[in-house]
Amino acid sequence: MYDRGSGKILNTASIGAFQPGPYSSTYFASKAFVLSYSRAIRYEAKKKGVQVCAVCPGATKTDFFNKEGLKTPAYAVSAEKVAKSAYRQLMRNIEVSIPGFIIKVMHLFPTRVKMSFVAKLKE
């Protein structure tokens, strides 16, 4: 991509990248890494004509919650909607894509409130 002077990279993080996650600390920390890494390489790659976007979806209708022994939240969005939204944001050269209206609103809540919510899901 650098040699050609163009390209696009879409990395998958999570809305959890923006906060600590009780009972899922490694998962949340790994997503924070992906977000930080994506932002850093975006800065570097811009000079070479390469675009980087990190998608940070919230609850998504997949097997993720079932494997955790939890119910998928009612506000979860389809994987197709996440993918389409992320693709559109990548094509618009957006740095961070947060698909879904409810997740965007929840992202604005204070960190302690979000941590409590995550902990209650896991307890």
In a domain, 122, yes or no: no
Identify the H or E element spanning 37: helix 25-46
What would the pLDDT profile of 47-104 be if each residue is shown by its tens digit? 999 999 999 999 899 998 888 888 898 889 999 999 999 999 999 999 999 998 777 7
pLDDT of residue 117: 74
pLDDT recorded at residue 114: 73
Q: What is the pLDDT of residue 79?
A: 95
Residue 76 · residue 59 · CB < 8 Å: yes
Residue 123 confidence class, pLDDT cut points 50, 70, 90: low
The answer to whether residue 110 scores a pLDDT higher than 90 is no
Q: Please state, rounded to an integer, the average pLDDT across all residues of the chain.
A: 90
- Asked whether residue 38 is domain-assigned, the answer is yes
Pick the range with the lowest mean pLDDT from 2-6, 21-25, 92-96.
21-25
Which structural domain, as residue segments, surrounds residue 53?
Answer: 7-114
In a domain, 2, yes or no: no
Residue 10: what pLDDT? 98
- Do the domain assignments include residue 26? yes
Q: Using CA atoms, how far apart are residues 27 and 105, in angstroms rounded to an integer?
A: 22
The answer to whether position 54 is within a domain reads: yes
